[in-house]
Structure 1
């Protein structure tokens, strides 16, 4: 009877049922890790993003804007955490890390890989995370530009959208795909960090020296229109490049450095617990 194909098929489904049953738990762990990471770093990112936009528009100087946001965070925390700006930032990074996490989960599930804690760095993750991050960041940046820019609210020009897309693709590449490769050439246990954790901080931070001009040009096109000369654009970017680069490093380290490490650690421990229970289920089923 055991040679009957129908019996074998049913038996195989029963053997794989623990993994099927745990898939929703794994997705829940992916989501929980993403939200924890996003909410933990959103206050810093929200403050810096707002200051960069206000500084570029001339509404407030960079340091003045940061002080204003920090004062509100301390004196009116409920207003700060319930604000649209905080919600938009948390949405961007929770969504981005959720897609990154679930991509790893579904790739592992599809291959039947026993190591469900594995982190990938392939094309699928880049395509998913970059498209998600670009879409959500454009929503956030459009709202920030309208809230904290100069003059009346106006449509975002297409060149600004294109520059923001290029900026975000570069950031995603350096945040999710470069760190695994970079970690192979870095020493382990730097100041208590693993080589991967160190790479997750260094790669996106270094990327900002390349992406900041795209960001500043996009904001300048929005704030001053598209009819200015190339010389005027270069002068505007040069005037704000260094401090904006440092500000963007200060925001990207929490966004894809600290949040990346926190997301990875949370997901690893949650998945490790789920994997242990999956093994117990397999043993129970024989």
Structure 2
């Protein structure tokens, strides 16, 4: 009996190189993806550890000044003295850990969103984005971390004997304050950089790029608007039941501290989203450039 001839292989369905609409399939740039995420983390960590000490001191000082525990100047001196004399104690403290976690998480979210975008759209790893998705992602991460940080700072450094849950109106004011800051930190600089470039000239941009100037200016300028929200939120926690009007009402207290607190918050925002933003961007760009 003759051996049976082998049956021809069954045809397998092939994946078309084009979609039903005739479009080319999307290719993802996943090359060295693990290293790219690691670069995102290193850049965020470098920025976070650089800005966290000064921001810890300023945040503590503003809250202690608002609660009456200490003046802003004396609080800053005390914190600076501890950082210089006992750096291990300062850097190992809960306030420093809260601030570092806040900015590491915010920058890491922004960086990984850029990495995800470059992966999905097959663009160079050093590509950055600006727009609604980035605003929503970074603001969500920053809001969650910042609200937790603010609630802990308010309880740690608020009015003596007032350690209690932070009221919902205070959280709402802090949320609005942070939305303004995040929008001015991550979305406005790329949009305003061309305008800055047109006014700076080539010689000035040799010292600092228009993008870096925009990264410094916009987050600081918005503090004039967001600081009253911050002060009102603190006052709602520190002085429950106080009226708006009167010699020592909420409105007068906010107006009294508005100028000094605005400058102090500019002093923390410039390192947080100015220096930190520039360092994060440049470290990430340098690391990604080596991976490209």
| 1:97 counterpart = 2:107 | yes
TM-score when scaled to structure 1? 0.88
Unaligned runs of 5+ in 1: 10-15, 276-286
State the TM-score, normalized to the length of structure 2: 0.87
Task: Check if 1:148 corresponds to 2:157.
Answer: yes
1:45 aligns with 2:60: no
Q: Which SS does the other structure have where 1:116 is aligned?
A: coil
Q: For 1:252, which of 262, 269, 283 is the aligned residue?
A: 269
Q: CA deviation at 1:79?
A: 0.1
The 2-side partners of 1:170 and 1:191 are apart by 30
Q: Are 1:119 and 2:134 counterparts?
A: no
Corresponding residue to 1:184 among 190, 194, 198:
194
The answer to whether residue 236 in structure 2 is matched with residue 221 in structure 1 is: yes
2:125 aligned counterpart, secondary structure? coil
Bigger Rg, which one: 2
8 Å Cα contact 1:209/1:245 also seen in 2? yes
1:33 aligns with one of 24, 32, 43: 43
Conserved? CA contact 2:219–2:269, under 8 Å: yes
Distance 1:99 1:60 in 2: 35
Whole-Å separation in 1 of the counterparts to 2:15 and 2:158: 67
Contact kept, 8 Å, 2:242 with 2:250, in 1: the verdict is no
Superimposed CA distance per residue, residues 130-157 of structure 1 (whole angstroms, 9 cap, x where no aligned partner): 0110110111111111111113211101
Decide whether aligned partners of structure 1 residues 200 and 222 sit closer, same or farther in structure 2, where only a CA change above 3 A counts. Answer: same
Matched, 1:82 2:92: yes
1:190·1:198 contact (CA, 8 Å) conserved in 2? no
Please tell me whether residue 128 in structure 1 is matched to residue 137 in structure 2: yes
Q: 1:191 to 1:207 in 2, by over 3 A?
A: farther
Contact 2:51 2:272 in 1 (8 A): yes
**Which residue pairs with 1:279 in the alignment?**
none
Equivalent-residue separation in structure 2 for 1:130 and 1:230 (angstroms)? 34
1:197 to 212, 215, 220: 212
Q: Which residue of 2 aligns with 1:139?
A: 148
Return the match for 2:175 from 146, 154, 165: 165
Q: CA deviation at 1:229?
A: 2.4
Distance 1:5 1:85, change over 3 A: same
Q: Secondary structure at the match of 2:284?
A: helix
Picking from 236, 244, 261, the partner of 2:278 is 261
Q: Deviations over 1:180-223 (max 9, x none)?
A: 01101013544711000110000000010010000000000000
In the alignment, the residues of structure 2 paired with residue 229 and residue 182 of structure 1 have an alpha-carbon distance, to the nearest angstrom, of 38
Task: Give the structure 2 partner of residue 284 of structure 1.
Answer: none
Kindly report the root-mean-square deviation, in angstroms, between the aligned alpha carbons of the 2 structures.
1.8
2:252 paired residue among 194, 211, 235: 235
Aligned residues: 264
1:64 pairs, out of 74, 79, 93, with 74
The CA distance in 2 between the partners of 1:237 and 1:32, in whole Å, is: 39
Determine the structure 1 residue equivalent to 2:4: none
Q: Over residues 102-121 of structure 1, what are the superposed CA-to-partner deviations in whole Å (9 max), with x where a residue is unaligned?
A: 111101111111x2212111
